Structures are given as structure tokens and as C-alpha cells.
Chain A
Amino acid sequence: MIRLEHVTKSYAAGSRPALLDVDVDIEKGEFVFLVGSSGSGKSTFLRLLLKEERPTSGRVRVAGKDLGSLSSWKVPALRRSIGCVFQDFRLLPNKTVTQNVAFALEVIGKPRHQVARIVPEVLELVGLEGKGDRMPDELSGGEQQRVAVARAFANRPMILIADEPTGNLDPGTSIGIMKLLDRINRTGTTVVMATHDAAIVDSMRRRVVELSHGRVVRDQDRGVYGYGS
């Protein structure tokens, strides 16, 4: 589903590369934690998958497409097959929960009747039934992140990318979000999650890819956050 072959990414010539000769292969339906300290290259890794960045060298393949030869007008199609969740939720503050989720479907041209059917379904899936008319600032952080997950998953993407989705949440709320991501993963969606949260990684016992200074230093099935923890 996702394959990085000898990928190196340097932002400025001469500086230390953000990723160095990274080789990672992620199968369909896998749940992968991407761990490592700040600046280790986790975000660059995720941005490469969305073709927000191009690798300096090496090849990135996502859902059978070689991103290096993917023309720019096909990038929107690629992004429709990838859902994204971020630490800062990125909800639209002037839209209700329902409108936020519907927006993501409308702008990719989904017909109105489909949007009307999908939005309540996916809100129920993330456990927000009955809160569709709330504004984001009326919700707790955990609920806002559930809206973001609903938005990312509404189009049933093949891949869900989560960049520190629990970074702004307390441990109890984080567990709820992780259960949700786990449930999404069980529907067959490949999940790639960058995180700092050792407790979560340790409790989930999923595959762990650890980056350090841009290199993969560990790739372990059913791993834990780190040997030091």
C-alpha cells in the first residue's frame, strides 16, 4: 500500500537531510506507529505520502502509484484516497460539526444526497451522534478530534494518516481516539500514525517504525515506544 525506496529528502542544499535512505514497506490494512523525537523526520515522511513534498532521491509509491511520475492534476485523486488527522484538528470554526464533515465531501464533488446520507453515518461511527449541530468551540478537545477523524474518514479512504492526533489530548481522551483509529483500521484502512505518546504505543502493540535524524533505526512488529521507556 505504501512503499518508500531509498528515499532521501533534503530541504536546503548542504543541510542535514530530513530523511536519509529510508526504506519502508507498509501493507494494506496495517497499523503503523511512526515514532522518534521532534525533527527526526516523521512529518516529512507523512508529507511525502501526500505529495506535499517530493523526495530529493528515491521512490515513493502510494496505493500502487509512483508519486514521482504522478502528474499534478492527479494529486487531488491521490489525496482523496488518503484521510488526514492532525494534532491541531484543523476544523473550520465557523461551521457546525455536520457542516465540517459535509464540507470535505462537497468540495470533492459528492452529490448532495450522498453527503446527506454519509455524514450522520460517519458521525455515529466516531461517537458524535446528536452533536452535529454544535460548533467546534462548543466541543471538548477529544470531541473535536473525533470530528476531524470523521472528516478524514467520510470518504472511506484506503489510508488514514494521523500526525500526533493525541498530542493535544489528556491520556483518557487519547485512549478513546486510539480505540476509534483501531476500529477504523479494522475496516481494512491502512493507518499510519506519527506520535510521541509512549503509553499509547506500548499499549497497542502494533508495528513501530522509529526514525532518528532521518534514518530508520528500528522497524518492529508488535513493538513498544522505545527501549529506554
Chain B
Amino acid sequence: MRVSSVASEAVQGLRRNLVMSVAAVVTVAISLTFVGGALLIRLTVDRLEDALYRDLTVSIFLNDGITDPQRQEVAQVLSGTPYVEEVTYESKEEAFRRFKLQNPNDPDLIANVTADALPESYRVELSDPEQYEVVASAVQGLPAVDEVVDFREFLESLFGILGGLRNFALATAGVQIIAATLLIANTVRVTAFSRRRETGVMRLVGATRWYIQLPFLVEGLVIGLLGTAIGVGLLAAGKWALLDGQLEELFRNGIIQNPSYTDIVLGQGPWLLALGLGISAVTSLLALQRYVRV
């Protein structure tokens, strides 16, 4: 089997119906861009969860003017509660120090706050951050306890938004993949129709089914390859324009990580390539059933 003749037949096929081929490539590219976008969102969320949950603490803020025994009681209850890994006490002075550290660019704010205005608290680290409710119900209602705050609640709403974005990207990708499948099938069929004399002769003289299908398979794979390359390019361009450009502030605090180009090209590229090639290969083989049946 001659590689050059197979390749040239595939290229001829693509040129013969150029408009359809371009449409197929663009659709593959767009669908993979959305798939890649969804993957990037997931990657970001995973990293964020890792970073935040690793030292995620439940804060138990205490009332003003409580007695020592009352304070002890909270610590005792906490040490007897399951999932509690570590309990740290934070006094008003320590809270003030942390407050100053968290707002270094805001001297006016610091000047207006005194240590006394801030509540003392227990910071509780959980072995399983999902079990926040257990801790909350254990200490809620104790006379010393003012409020139990789980940082997860803040995060959950953020994750909710990101999850929605990801689902939207996945749904769009799904629709686009269906469109890409139909376009590739159509492109390959048009080529098969225009080459039906050749395939007819091939069948007649006893060429194998594999040999007959190969040029069409290659044609489909070229579409998949070009589409994937453009799709990855679009993702990188999207990162440059959107994440590095407009949403740049989102990443400045360092909590949410900006996905790198390496993430896009090396992390996702292979998956997207496999998806793009897989779709186009399966589609072009299925589209040909009618023409190569022996």
C-alpha cells in the first residue's frame, strides 16, 4: 500500500468539496474549544478546591465578655467531636494582627478598627471538610458561641457559578460534536460519491475493504487533526484574551490559579486530539458502510 497515493487521494477528496471540509474543520474546532473550556474550568475548580480545602477551617466566633469556663467548655466539646483534627484559639489581639495582614493596602480601615472590636474565635480543622454540620451542631447553642462560619459556604456559591459555566460549555460542546459528526459524515460521503467509480473498480478486482476505506479514513482524520489544532489554538487565544486580559484581577490574589499554556497544550491537547480523531475516524468509517459493503 502506497502512503503517498493514499495521502494524495485524501487531499484530493478534501479539495473536491472544500466548503464542506472547511465547515467540518471549523465545527470540530469549535466543539473541541468548548470541550477544552469545560475541562479548563474543571481543572481550575479542582485546583481551587485542593488549595482551599486543604487548610480549610471552620471558624467559631465567640461572644464578647464570656467567662473562662465558658471558653473552656467550647474547647472541650470540640475535642470530643468527631472529624475535628486540630483546634486553634485566636484571641482578639491575634485576630487584629491577622486583620492588619489581610488588609495591608488599607491604612484607613486599620486605623478605625481596634483589637477589641474583633471577636475571639476557635479555628477548627476538620479531617473531612464535608462534615462541617457535625461541628456546627455540636457547639451551636453553647453560651459562649456567637456564630459558626464555614468558609465552604462562600466557596460553594463560587463553585456553583463555575459548575454552571462548565455544564454550559459541556452542553454546547455536545451539540457541536453532533454537528461535527454530521458534517464529517457528509464530507466523506460526498467524496465517496465522487469516487464511486474507483471504489467500484476496487471492489470488483478484489481490493480489501480496509484498502478501499483507508483514503476516506485519512480524509476524516485530516479534518479531525486540523480541527483539533485550531481548537487548541482557539483555547490558547481565549486564555490570552480573556483570562490574561479581562479577568486578570481574578488571579491576582493567587487563590484561583490561571491555567497555563502548558495546561492547555500538553495537558488537554492529547485528550482533545484523541477526541477529535476518534470522532472523525468513527464517523468516516460509519458513513462509508453503504459504499464498501462487499
Task: Tell whether A78 is near chain B: CB-to-CB under 8 Å.
Answer: yes
B218, chain A: closest CB distance, angstroms: 15
Q: Please give, as numbers and ranges, the residues of chain A lying within 8 Å of B2 by CB-CB distance.
A: 106
Q: Please give, as numbers and ranges, the residues of chain A lying within 8 Å of B200 by CB-CB distance.
A: 90
Residue ID in chain B nearest A95 by CB atoms: B198
Across the interface, do A106 and B208 meet the contact criterion of CB distance under 8 Å?
no
Q: Please give, as numbers and ranges, the residues of chain B lying within 8 Å of A92 by CB-CB distance.
A: 197-198, 201
Across the interface, do A106 and B201 meet the contact criterion of CB distance under 8 Å?
no
Candidate in B5, B198, B204, B206 with the most chain A CB atoms within 10 angstroms: B206
We find that the number of chain A residues with CB closer than 8 angstroms to chain B is 25
Residue ID in chain B nearest A154 by CB atoms: B205
Binary flags per residue of B66-81, CB closer than 8 Å to A gives 1, else 0 = 0000000000000000
Candidate in B1, B5, B205 with the most chain A CB atoms within 10 angstroms: B205
Across the interface, do B294 and A107 meet the contact criterion of CB distance under 8 Å?
no
Q: Please give, as numbers and ranges, the residues of chain B lying within 8 Å of A78 by CB-CB distance.
A: 206
Which listed residue (A79, A93, A155) contacts B203, Cβ 8 A? A79
| Complex interface residues of chain B between 142 and 157 (CB less than 8 A to chain A) | none
Q: Please give, as numbers and ranges, the residues of chain B lying within 8 Å of A104 by CB-CB distance.
A: 201, 205
Across the interface, do A107 and B211 meet the contact criterion of CB distance under 8 Å?
yes
Complexed CA–CA distance, A75 and B293 (Å)? 11
Across the interface, do B207 and A75 meet the contact criterion of CB distance under 8 Å?
no
Across the interface, do B205 and A155 meet the contact criterion of CB distance under 8 Å?
yes
Q: Please give, as numbers and ranges, the residues of chain A lying within 8 Å of B203 by CB-CB distance.
A: 79
Q: Please give, as numbers and ranges, the residues of chain B lying within 8 Å of A42 by CB-CB distance.
A: none
Q: Please give, as numbers and ranges, the residues of chain A lying within 8 Å of B201 by CB-CB distance.
A: 90, 92, 103-104, 107, 151
A71, chain B: closest CB distance, angstroms: 10
Task: Tell whether A7 is near chain B: CB-to-CB under 8 Å.
Answer: no
Q: Please give, as numbers and ranges, the residues of chain B lying within 8 Å of A106 by CB-CB distance.
A: 2, 5
The answer to whether A75 and B197 touch (CB under 8 A), given A84-B204, A104-B205, A106-B5, is no
Which listed residue (B197, B207, B209) contacts A108, Cβ 8 A? B207
| Complex interface residues of chain A between 75 and 102 (CB less than 8 A to chain B) | 75-81, 83-84, 90, 92-93
Task: Tell whether B202 is near chain A: CB-to-CB under 8 Å.
Answer: yes
Across the interface, do B197 and A80 meet the contact criterion of CB distance under 8 Å?
no
Task: Tell whether A14 is near chain B: CB-to-CB under 8 Å.
Answer: no
A97, chain B: closest CB distance, angstroms: 14
Candidate in A72, A80, A83, A104 with the most chain B CB atoms within 10 angstroms: A104
A63, chain B: closest CB distance, angstroms: 13
Which listed residue (B5, B204, B294) contacts A72, Cβ 8 A? B294
Complexed CA–CA distance, A83 and B203 (Å)? 12
Q: Please give, as numbers and ranges, the residues of chain B lying within 8 Å of A103 by CB-CB distance.
A: 198, 201
A172, chain B: closest CB distance, angstroms: 28
Q: Please give, as numbers and ranges, the residues of chain A lying within 8 Å of B294 by CB-CB distance.
A: 51, 72, 75-76
Task: Tell whether A228 is near chain B: CB-to-CB under 8 Å.
Answer: no
A98, chain B: closest CB distance, angstroms: 15
B196, chain A: closest CB distance, angstroms: 11
The answer to whether A107 and B197 touch (CB under 8 A), given A75-B294, A76-B294, is no
Residue ID in chain A nearest B200 by CB atoms: A90
Complexed CA–CA distance, A106 and B205 (Å)? 10
Candidate in A75, A81, A155 with the most chain B CB atoms within 10 angstroms: A75
Across the interface, do B1 and A80 meet the contact criterion of CB distance under 8 Å?
no
Binary flags per residue of A47-73, CB closer than 8 Å to B gives 1, else 0 = 000110000000000000000000011
Q: Please give, as numbers and ranges, the residues of chain A lying within 8 Å of B204 by CB-CB distance.
A: 50, 79, 84, 90
A155, chain B: closest CB distance, angstroms: 7
Residue ID in chain B nearest A155 by CB atoms: B205
Which listed residue (B1, B209, B212) contacts A109, Cβ 8 A? B1
Complexed CA–CA distance, A76 and B201 (Å)? 12
Complexed CA–CA distance, A84 and B206 (Å)? 11
Complexed CA–CA distance, A107 and B198 (Å)? 10
Complexed CA–CA distance, A219 and B29 (Å)? 64
Binary flags per residue of A120-155, CB closer than 8 Å to B gives 1, else 0 = 000000000000000000000000000000011001
Residue ID in chain A nearest B207 by CB atoms: A107
Complexed CA–CA distance, A83 and B197 (Å)? 17
Residues of B within 8 A of A (CB): 1-2, 5, 197-198, 200-209, 211-212, 294
Q: List 23 A-B contacts (CB under 8 A).
A: A50-B204, A51-B294, A72-B294, A76-B207, A76-B208, A76-B209, A76-B294, A79-B203, A79-B204, A79-B205, A79-B206, A84-B204, A84-B205, A90-B200, A92-B197, A92-B198, A92-B201, A103-B201, A107-B207, A108-B205, A108-B211, A155-B205, A155-B206
> Knowing that A78-B206, A81-B206 are A-B contacts, what are 18 other residue pairs whose CB atoms are under 8 Å apart, sorted by A's residue number?
A50-B204, A51-B294, A72-B294, A75-B294, A76-B207, A79-B205, A80-B206, A90-B200, A104-B201, A104-B205, A107-B201, A107-B202, A107-B212, A108-B207, A109-B1, A151-B205, A152-B205, A155-B205
